[in-house]
Amino acid sequence: MNNMNRQLILIGAGGHARACIDVIETEKKYTIAGLVGRAEEVDAKIFAYKVLGTDSSLFMLAGEFNYAFIGVGQLKTPKIRIHLFEQGLAAGFLFPTIISPQAYVSPHAKIGEGTIVMHGAIVNAGASVGKNCIINSNALIEHDSIIGDNTHISTGAIVNGGAEVGSGSFVGSRSVISNCVSIGRNSFIGLGAEVKLSLGNESKFI
């Protein structure tokens, strides 16, 4: 692929987008053509990159660029990321997997489309990470664990071997999920929590 074919639109222009830019630039597989943001952000620059339009511009931009990536973070709810991901797919964008060269992803692990593995993160053998996820800086996804779609594993969090985190969940910074524990969909695990027993859907553990 030439550089034109590898141009990428980053959907989102806030703090998480800035962190994504750093990883994308470091990986050097894709060139950022510009960003999509809120109406008041249009024509602003994030580092060297211009905000080209809002999410209503996605169908137009998909006629010019092949790739997009979600640069919106996820704390209380995954709904915005899910909506934008689905909107981008409907527009015809391809969503690559972005992996920092400062991360380690086992060749025996699986990473879904639209997922970012950030600096210092580790995804070990047999682990499976779904689509449109954030595996944030220094997070550890241990062997044979399963991370559902649209999930954010935050900075320094540990998901131990054989654990399962349901889709749409948030696992807070420095929290620890014990071996073989299952966490249901759309759950929220707070900062520094230690989860030793399985939790149902939409659980909050703070």
Catalytic residues: 143
Of residues 132, 94, 100, the one with CA closest to residue 117: 100
Other Cβ atoms closer than 10 A to 202: 13
* DSSP result, 158-170: EE-TT-EE-TT-E
Of residues 109, 169, 100, the one with CA closest to residue 133: 169
- CA–CA–CA angle 23, 28, 31 (5° rounding): 95
